[in-house]
């Protein structure tokens, strides 16, 4: 599967959070997120491992016992089933890989 960049095709799972599937295979799923400053991704968990890279902006990740403030060039990996949330401190763009594929994002 190949993907050519385009500005359409985003869904909004949470107010201020736009996401788009870029490509996926049998086991991995690559998404782009464009998130507005001041948005909050509420506490949630899912069975998918989540690996990400912050292209631009600033995001504070909140886990049960840890916080991490990410800036451009920072990355993360969250194990499946971990409860997490995020505060968006600046308009941000990130790419994330989920494994297995997130059917709810297709």
Residue ranges covered by each domain of the chain: 36-105
CATH number of 36-105: 2.60.120.10
CA-CA-CA-CA dihedral for 63, 68, 72, 75, to nearest 10: -60
Rounded to whole angstroms, the Cα distance separating 61 from 64 reads 10
Give how far Cα 106 sits from Cα of 25, 35, 57, 73, 95, Å.
11, 19, 25, 26, 15
Q: Which residues pair with 41 in a beta bridge?
A: 86
pLDDT tens-digit series, residues 76-95:
999 999 999 999 999 999 99
User: What's the predicted TM-score (pTM) here?
Assistant: 0.93
pLDDT tens-digit series, residues 34-62:
999 999 999 999 999 999 999 999 999 99
């Amino acid at each position: 599967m190949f993907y050519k960049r385009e500005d359409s095709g985003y869904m909004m799972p949470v107010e201020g959070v736009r996401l788009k599937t870029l490509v996926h295979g049998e086991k991995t799923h690559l998404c782009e997120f464009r998130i507005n400053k001041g948005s909050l991704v509420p506490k949630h968990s899912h069975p998918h491992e989540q690996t990400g890279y912050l292209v631009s902006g600033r995001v504070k990740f909140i886990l049960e016992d840890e916080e991490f403030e990410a800036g451009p060039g920072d990355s993360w990996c969250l194990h499946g089933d971990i409860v997490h949330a995020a505060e968006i401190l600046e308009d941000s763009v990130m790419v994330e890989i989920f494994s297995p594929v997130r059917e709810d994002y297709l």
